[in-house]
């Protein structure tokens, strides 16, 4: 049975390695709820600003939904 998450944000990236690298950072780990697949992460919306900052510092522009 699928898991339903409420009040979360989806972050999408083009390259799966972006999430692999980001997931090694403690601030990203604190924000991470889980992965949908290798290009989509479910993020706690209260920590979205930190995730955007991490990904931007890494040189990436994530898509947020």
pLDDT digits (tens, 9 = 90+) for 4-63: 667 889 999 999 999 999 999 999 999 999 999 999 999 999 999 999 999 999 999 888
List the domain range (segments joined by +) for residue 43.
Answer: 9-64
Distances (CA, A) of 19 to 1, 2, 5, 30: 25, 22, 20, 14
What pTM, to 2 d.p., does this model score? 0.82
Domain assignment present for residue 31? The answer is: yes
**Phi and psi dihedrals of 55, rounded to 5?**
-65, -35
Domain assignment present for residue 16? The answer is: yes
Residue 16 sits in a domain of what CATH number?
A: 3.30.70
Domain assignment present for residue 47? The answer is: yes
For the chain, what is the domain count? 1
Domain assignment present for residue 1? The answer is: no
Domain assignment present for residue 4? The answer is: no
């Amino acid at each position: 049975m699928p898991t339903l998450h409420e009040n979360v944000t989806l972050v999408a990236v083009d390259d799966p390695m972006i999430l692999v690298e980001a997931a090694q950072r403690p601030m990203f780990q604190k924000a991470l709820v889980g992965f949908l697949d290798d290009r989509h992460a479910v993020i706690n919306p209260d920590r979205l600003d930190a995730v955007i900052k991490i990904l931007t510092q890494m040189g990436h522009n994530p898509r947020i939904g």
